[in-house]
Structure 1
């Protein structure tokens, strides 16, 4: 349980700083939905222009839209993801017979822990996406809803489609996090082991964790962005009276329609915002995770020390 709480706290801390980038990324991923390049108005040219446009039209506070469900999502998703991965690591499941970190096993363990985390945090991610998509009509992209905050949005989803409505879009969230988690944690573990073995920085230095996190962040953006775009589309699309998506029937249908209507580039919409967001978020969450676990270990040791 300790590992789950520490992982959740670390990811929530990172989420607070990177949520504005998440807002920009979400808007850019929904921009030009189901349309070819040149056939829609471009409200957000790049991440910096998105910040300027959102701040000017919706107000500066709009850059933190969806913050509450975003933090709850980070807590539950990454709490289970990082916590499960650490448990697997403590059991030695990500190491070979010689006791060294196995890249292949790390990918599998990272993906498995990501699957659990994505399923647990899915309702919060859905609400986060829908709230972040809300915008002034002048710069609106994607399907627009009028939602009364996180609890109101969850209540609406449950009232309209029951428990199933709370997990709508999870089919896109699970592969998204599995790919991202597998790439992130395996790269981080492998890079950290290499950097420590090379003795570039002193033992226990924060720079070891920071360097490994930066390597991990780049890899995550490369592999995760297409799944991220698909997940955003599935969560935000309108639904019929039966709770089924208007645009996309599911994961594979969404992939096919994006490719057919928007081309290969459609899968990398908002990649700049993803890089600026996922890079810092990966670095911050993993650094916070390592430092939180280190602080907890020290405090636990002090508590267990016998009084003289």
Structure 2
């Protein structure tokens, strides 16, 4: 096996998630074999390890910005706006943080998806975008700034509950350990 189950590069995951039959297809289809980790084998054989991680430049800032916003907004909302120590303050802080995370991470999700899913030429160079900044500029100029927020509802439905629950349990466990 080329890839272990827990280490599937994001590009492979995106290609396989976007893949569908041609009658329903939207955008470029990479047509990888969908069974297990084999979807990445074709990318690896054509473009090597670099091909597996092409487009990750949109994902790294996504995680950095998302984590910073998540913790900063949670701490601020919990301590400034609500009665300290109450479970309601922790829950509300998590909700505020969930909204902030969705708003800040959505542009990076859009950029990452576009970079991962674009068609490539024989040497693996993207046919639509030259990189992270080019992708931002093209989306902004062709679709406006709101083009960077496509799918924000779905992003919130995924990240909102995750943020609330993660921060709620983290805060409660942290308090248990401190006492």
Shift in CA distance, 163/265, structure 1 to aligned 2, threshold 3 Å = same
Correspondence 1:232-271 to 2 at 5 A: 232-271=113-152
Correspondence 1:4-15 to 2 at 5 A: none
Equivalent residue, structure 1, for 2:73 = 187
1:227 partnered with 2:130: no
Equivalent residue, structure 2, for 1:174 = 60
Q: Is the 8 A contact 2:70 2:100 kept in 1?
A: yes
Shift in CA distance, 291/235, structure 1 to aligned 2, threshold 3 Å = farther
Q: CA deviation at 1:183?
A: 1.0
Equivalent residue, structure 2, for 1:160 = 46
Correspondence 1:72-221 to 2 at 5 A: 72=6, 124-147=9-32, 148-194=34-80, 198-199=83-84, 201=86, 205=87, 207-221=88-102
Q: Is the 8 A contact 1:172 1:234 kept in 2?
A: yes
Where structure 2 has 5 or more consecutive residues not aligned to the other structure, the ranges are none
Cα distance in 2 for residues equivalent to 1:276 and 1:135: 23
Q: Deviations over 1:190-241 (max 9, x none)?
A: 3334467x2362xxx4x44322211111111222211211111001111112
Q: Is the 8 A contact 2:10 2:56 kept in 1?
A: no
Where structure 1 has 5 or more consecutive residues not aligned to the other structure, the ranges are 1-68, 74-122, 298-308
Q: Tell me the matched-pair count.
A: 173
Q: Is the 8 A contact 1:230 1:255 kept in 2?
A: yes
TM-score between the two structures when normalised by the length of structure 1: 0.50
Cα distance in 1 for residues equivalent to 2:53 and 2:173: 31
Q: CA deviation at 1:171?
A: 1.0
Shift in CA distance, 163/252, structure 1 to aligned 2, threshold 3 Å = same
Q: Is the 8 A contact 2:12 2:39 kept in 1?
A: yes
TM-score between the two structures when normalised by the length of structure 2: 0.81
Partner of 1:139, secondary structure, is coil
Q: Is the 8 A contact 1:217 1:280 kept in 2?
A: yes
Shift in CA distance, 284/136, structure 1 to aligned 2, threshold 3 Å = farther
Query: What is the CA RMSD across the aligned residues, in angstroms?
Result: 2.7
Structure number with the bigger relative contact order (C-alpha 8 A, sep ≥ 6) is 1
